[in-house]
Amino acid sequence: MAYQPMTLSSLAGHLSRRADEKVRWKHVWEFFEEYRWAPVEERPLLLCEEPSSTGDEQWDVLLAALAEHLAAELDLAPPEWSRSRVLATPWFPSSLRSKRMEALVSAPAAFRKHGVYLSARDLEAA
């Protein structure tokens, strides 16, 4: 059986089984790693299937922002499922004041659009 990189849908499954934020972020960073190693022509397939709910609206919207951000990097339209997932109240995943300010200034457009304020540097470090 050939290796299959993690999809956003399978990432949602991992997130739904973990309440610990640190473990959840480790799964997100693992998704990024597998996504970056996937052949470019396969990357859209990792984003297209609608993830089931993680049980937490903020994490559900984070997946939508991530899908839109990565699709834009591939010069593709965002997956249809991602469009309706938007937070009414902005979410700053970091509780550190300095990280919140950095995210406010540098969050990628797709994340800001969905109401998730995660700094571009945090995404690059993943």
Q: Is the pLDDT of residue 16 over 90?
A: yes
Query: 111 in a domain, yes or no?
Result: yes
- Nearest CA-CA partner of 35 in 25, 50, 46: 46
pLDDT at 123: 80
- Residue 66 lies in domain: 8-125
In this structure, the dihedral spanned by the alpha carbons of residues 116, 65, 34 and 4, taken in order and rounded to 10 degrees, is 140
82 — pLDDT class (breaks 50, 70, 90): very high
pLDDT-derived band at 125 (thresholds 50, 70, 90) equals low
Please give the tally of structural domains in the chain: 1
Cβ-contact 78, 106 below 8 angstroms: no
Judge whether 1 lies within some domain: no
Give a yes or no: residue 62 inside a domain.
Answer: yes
Residue 3 lies in a domain: no
pLDDT digits (tens, 9 = 90+) for 94-122: 888 888 899 999 999 999 999 999 988 88
Residue 43 forms part of a structural domain? yes
24 located within any domain: yes
* Phi/psi at 19 (5° precision): -95, -25
